[in-house]
Each structure stands twice: as C-alpha cells, then as structure tokens.
Structure 1
Amino acid sequence: MTLWVAAEQILHKWGESLKECGMDLLVAQKGESAEGVDGFLLTGPGDYSSLHELGENSLCQENGPALLLVFGDEAPYGWADELAAACEASQKPCEVVRMSLWSGNERVLLGGEPVGQQMRRLCRLLADHGKVSMVCGRREVDEAIRQLPRYLAWKERFYWEMGEVCDDNGVSLSQVSRALGLDTRIGQGWLDSGRQDHSLVCAWIVRECQHVLQKAKIERVALIGPEGLWSSMPQGWLAGRKVAVYTGTDKLFPNEVRPGWVRCNSWEAAVQDADLLVIGDGQGVVAELSLQELIRAMRQSLVIDAVSSFPVQEARLLCQGYRAVGEKTNVWEWRGL
C-alpha cells in the first residue's frame, strides 16, 4: 500500500514504522501522477489542507474509494469522524480510517467502517506483516489515545506510592511489583518510562541526592536521562558541583536552562571520574550501560537509579552505594558513607 504525505518530516518520523506495517509513504508533489497511490496519510487538518488541492478524486477510481488514513496521536479528537461526515456530504469517493500504533508497534487500533473496503484491506495487510489489529469506531480510537497517558500516569503514581510503603517496611518494590505482575490483569511493565509529568521522579531524585550529598564528598555528578527531566528539576539542587549530562540524543542541552552543565556525547564521557551517577529515565539509554564499566569509570561508585536499571543485589554488591525506587531508605549507611 502506498500513501501520500504532506511533508518530508512525516516521512522521516513514521516511514520506518509504517513500512513494517506494509505501507510506503511518498511526499506528494504537484503534477505528480497518482497511479499506484492508494490514499493520503493525515496527521492533522493541516495535512488535509495541503493535500486537498491534489484532489481525492484522482486516487484509485478503478479500485474503489481513496483511503484517508488519519494517523497518530496529534490529530484532534473527533476530527476523523468530522472528515468522514464531510466526505459523505460532498459525495467524495473516500473512506476515512483512524489508525494508531500500540505496544511497540506490534498492535494496531483501526477506527472506521468494519466492512469498508479499505478497512478490510488494511486488516489483511497488517496480518500479513505480523501485526495484531483491533477494529472499532474512529472516535473510540481517539478516546483510547486520550486515556492511555492518563492511565499510565495513574499507574506510575501507584507504584511510586507503593515504593514509599516498601521503603518504610524494609521490603523490595521490585520483588513486590513482580509478584503483583503474576496476575495477568497487571503484567510486568510496572514502571512506565514514557512519562509526561516528571514531578514524582524529580521529588524522589532531589530527596535521595540530599541524602548522599550529606554523607559523601561529591564534586562531580553525572546525569543520564532526557532533557525534559533535567529541565524540570528545581534550581540549585546540585549547586557547587560539576555536572555532566547525557541525554542519549544529539540534541544539545540548552545552556540557558542549566548554565555550567556539560553535555556529553556518550554515557562513558558523562560518568568519567564522577562521584555520583543519577539515572533519571532510561529511554533506551540504560540498554547501553554496563554496571561494571560504570564503576570502573567513576571515582566513587554511588548511584541513584529512578528506573531500577540493574538487579538490586548485584548493584548493592558492586557499588559503594546504590539507591533504586522502593529499595530501603537507609542504603547510604550500608557502605560506611
């Protein structure tokens, strides 16, 4: 299946993911033949306005209605239904389908007419490419997209609160969460790394940093995690310390946000000679880390880990001090800090 898109950045952002679903994206050009093109990929009203002048009627007249695939989580709520109603009112030969990728792109939500020609074609295409699809209403896809981050935020708050209880009672949040996950209604993905609200993790990191800064001589601090997290931290929380940041991306950390902080191009450079490492949010960066290499590179092997990157027993054995969520508040007293 081949779809036109309005801009090059859409192709760059979604081209690979949709290719895995059997869809090829092409940037639409004026005067270009629509032969072999099945429809438009739309991420919002702006895309539709840009593509509208090309004319939906030029697409797939022999093979049925053109596909208007409203894709992603940026399209306005209910817009796919409005677009479908407008096409029906104007008798345009188009079929509007709402689509969203879920669960690491392995599952797909499709909203539209269950017996629509393009809907049936999409379902077959996705099945051929090993994707599990669910068909529902267009607005139901919108609602699922809207509710998912709310649910994940609630779930994260629950585990952070449970972590405090585990600390108070001297039990391991990691083990308790795995035990809860044996119930298939809960599952094992207990700590969401794609958070939008950083307030809980920020408060926890500040508290734990205060503990270790009071007990050890800390000159250099390494931070690993996304720019958004470190930009959300309170001013002055690492005052008087040298700070190196690794975000796992090529995007520069803005100097005006944290003057004096050094952005590093690798985690190895960030942790070199560090006294304290703070892992704020893995975002795939943690997969690069080797605990033994971390320890060899650091001057003091003190680690505050908000995403439980390493097995707790191994980390406690190898590190001078290791603190993960829900793994006892007196950790900084264990190794004579």
Structure 2
Amino acid sequence: MREQRMTLWAASEQIVRSLGGSLRECGIDLASEQTGLPPEGVDGFLVTGHDDYNKLRAADRTSMRQQNDADLLVIYGDEAPYAWADELALSSEAGDDARKWEVIRLALWSGNERALIGGNPSGKYMRLVCRLLAEYGKVSMICGRREVDEAIRQLPRYLAWKERFYWELGEWCDTRQVSLRQVSRALGLDTRIGQGWLFAERRDHSHVCKWLERECQLVLEKAKIRRVALIGSNALWDKMPQGWLAKMDVAVYTGADGQYPNEVHPDWLHGDSWNAVLQDADLLVIGDRLGIVDELSLQEVAKVMRQSLVVDAASCFPTQEAQLFFKGYRAIGEKTNVWE
C-alpha cells in the first residue's frame, strides 16, 4: 500500500488545477492558499516561472518564512526559463537568497510515465523524490538541472525533424504504391527509431496545410461535395489558405473545450460534438488527432455521413479497415487512388 507522499505549495490555485492531476499520479500533492492547507504543512514549494517565484518570495518575506522552514524548491515544467534553476541554486549557495534552497528541476516525460530530475544527486530531497517516483511507477533519470532544460528545448526540435522526414517518406511511398503506415512501423522496430512520428504539438503546419489543400482539391474535382466536416485544432485551420473551401458548407469540431474565433472563418459552423459536425457531410477532413478521434466508430461515422469520403492528415485509422467502411479514404503515404 502506498503511503509516502509529498506536498508542495504552489503560488496560485490555477497551478493546482492545471498541474495537480499529473503530479498527483507521481505521489506529489499541490496546495495553495485556496486549498486551505496551512503553509507549515507542506514539504516544499513548486514554481513554473518568474511570476510564481516572485509571489513565493513576497510571501517568504512576510509570514511564510516564520510558518514554514521547508528548503525544497521544485522548478517544474517546460515554461521555466533556460538555466534558471541552476541560477537559483547558485544564488542560494552563494548566500544571496534569504532562504537556502535545494533546487530540483523536474519534468514529466513520455506521457507522464517517466521523469527527468535535475539537481544534486546526493541531495536529501533529490533522493526522496526519486524514491517517491519509483514507488508510483515512474521511471526517472537523474541529471543536471541544465540537462533537463536542454532536453526540454531539444525534444520539440527533434520531433519536428522526425515528422518532416516521414512527410517526405510518405510522398515517396505514394509514388511506389506502398504503405507509409507499414513502412513506419517496420522502421520503428529498430529501438533507435521507435514508433509514432506525427507531432501534434507542432508549430509549423506548412506540411499538413499543403497536403490537405492538395488532397481536398482532388476530392472536390472528382466528387460532388456540398458539406465538409473538419476535425482538428484551431491552430491548424487558421493556417489554411483563404478560400480553401470557398462556396462549401463547412462545419468544424475543434475539441470539447475548443473555442474558435468567429472572425477567422465567420461562415463556418462550429459544432460541440463530432456527431453534429459529421451529420450529412460529404467529406470529412481530419487535421490532427484530437482525443475524440480515438473514440470514433468507423461504422458510425460512415452511417452519419451522406458520402463517407475521408481525408486524414493524422493517419487515425488502419487503411484496410477504413476502406471497408468508407467510400473513399486517403491518409499520408496511403495512395489508394480513390480520387482518380
């Protein structure tokens, strides 16, 4: 039975709401003024950036210092400035800070199943955090604080590079009538490469936009399309060229919590469920893989649509299965010739 847990004080209730769930799974509870837990009941403090730290220092200069003598400071997440954790640690060691901190740089990794922990390997709290994470089934790697920062900075760059490679490979697979899905899986059997290549948090949508525009134009030329359903994030649709679906009846679903600015595409209808968006649609365009896509029944999708034509830039469905249910299905690197 798990008994050991740690409680960290956060500067605001917003941090508790946004980060509390993932950290709770690691045995770390968050508290704030709004939670009602007094400062003396915590093991340390968690900050994500300068604003949090300034609030903490303001409290430290008044009542918190007298109420709590915890000396653990956890710098968490990917928004903290580069090398900032090291700077705080050096400042504390030099005596520049009113309180002596053991500074730990913490980041959850790989779907929150793993953790990077940066700090003094022999530190009291470092050993405690490592044991805690292990007890809650998290694989952790101990390194320097700046190494955690560097890994956080380089990960999206690497994923973006990997995705560009597979986009190019997909075009090549199209010309050879082979399946990118199968080729990518085969490559991923090499542990140096791994499975999965689409990077949902990408900042550059140019490859997706170009591919979607081309494939949708082919559909519009070959089939009679009146209603188009879009599933994907706001960030992607905002990057698509103006007039892309001109004169089409367009309905878009951006996620259960998605809010779409009306001024971007004022003529588009915005549905609060995938069922409403797909109702009587001729063409479904999947821009990126929202959580709802994994729950879609291919049979139900085909039943709701008027024409079950699908252009999928997120490779959500196995090609052979999709071809059984849909009138036409096109995914990256899956040249099925449905528009020809």
Shift of 1:256: 0.1
Partner of 1:288: 295
Root mean square deviation, CA, Å = 1.6
Read off the aligned partner of 1:278 and give its amino acid letter: V
- Could you tell me how far apart the structure 2 residues matched to 1:135 and 1:216 are? 56
Relative to structure 1, the CA distance from residue 21 to residue 165 in structure 2 (aligned partners, 3 Å threshold; closer, same or farther) is: same
Q: Within 5 A, what are the aligned runs for 1:289-304?
A: 289-304=296-311
Partner of 1:315: 322
Across the two proteins, how many residue pairs are aligned to each other? 329
Relative to structure 1, the CA distance from residue 59 to residue 220 in structure 2 (aligned partners, 3 Å threshold; closer, same or farther) is: same
TM-score (normalised: structure 2): 0.93
Read off the aligned partner of 2:323 and give its amino acid letter: R
Q: Within 5 A, what are the aligned runs for 1:39-118?
A: 39-55=44-60, 57-58=65-66, 61=69, 66-90=71-95, 92-118=99-125
- Could you tell me how far apart the structure 1 residues matched to 2:323 and 2:39 are? 62
Is 1:35 aligned to 2:54, yes or no? Answer: no
Give yes or no for contact 1:225–1:285 (8 Å, CA) kept in 2: no
- Could you tell me how far apart the structure 1 residues matched to 2:197 and 2:288 are? 14
Give 5+ residue unaligned stretches, structure 1: none
Shift of 1:28: 3.8
Q: Within 5 A, what are the aligned runs for 1:1-337?
A: 1-28=6-33, 33-55=38-60, 57-58=65-66, 61=69, 66-90=71-95, 92-328=99-335, 330-333=337-340
Give yes or no for contact 1:5–1:40 (8 Å, CA) kept in 2: yes
Post-superposition CA distance 1:261-298 (Å, at most 9, x none): 01101101110000100011113121121111011000
Give yes or no for contact 2:13–2:33 (8 Å, CA) kept in 1: no
- Could you tell me how far apart the structure 1 residues matched to 2:261 and 2:142 are? 43
Give yes or no for contact 1:69–1:98 (8 Å, CA) kept in 2: yes
Relative to structure 1, the CA distance from residue 299 to residue 116 in structure 2 (aligned partners, 3 Å threshold; closer, same or farther) is: same
* SS class of match (1:53): helix
- Could you tell me how far apart the structure 2 residues matched to 1:272 and 1:187 are? 37
Give yes or no for contact 1:224–1:279 (8 Å, CA) kept in 2: yes
Q: Which moved more, 1:277-286 or 1:86-95?
A: 86-95
Shift of 1:85: 1.3
- Could you tell me how far apart the structure 1 residues matched to 2:321 and 2:29 are? 46
Give yes or no for contact 1:57–1:93 (8 Å, CA) kept in 2: no
Relative to structure 1, the CA distance from residue 158 to residue 25 in structure 2 (aligned partners, 3 Å threshold; closer, same or farther) is: same
Post-superposition CA distance 1:206-250 (Å, at most 9, x none): 010010001111110000011111111111100000110111132
* SS class of match (1:258): coil
* SS class of match (1:326): coil
* SS class of match (2:59): coil
Read off the aligned partner of 1:24 and give its amino acid letter: D
- Could you tell me how far apart the structure 2 residues matched to 1:158 and 1:58 are? 56
* SS class of match (1:304): strand
- Could you tell me how far apart the structure 2 residues matched to 1:24 and 1:36 are? 12
Partner of 2:3: none
Q: Which moved more, 1:158-167 or 1:44-53?
A: 44-53
- Could you tell me how far apart the structure 2 residues matched to 1:249 and 1:74 are? 25
Give yes or no for contact 1:87–1:93 (8 Å, CA) kept in 2: yes
- Could you tell me how far apart the structure 2 residues matched to 1:28 and 1:147 are? 35
- Could you tell me how far apart the structure 1 residues matched to 2:116 and 2:37 are? 31
Give yes or no for contact 1:244–1:262 (8 Å, CA) kept in 2: yes
- Could you tell me how far apart the structure 2 residues matched to 1:145 and 1:99 are? 10
- Could you tell me how far apart the structure 1 residues matched to 2:185 and 2:67 are? 51
- Could you tell me how far apart the structure 2 residues matched to 1:271 and 1:256 are? 23
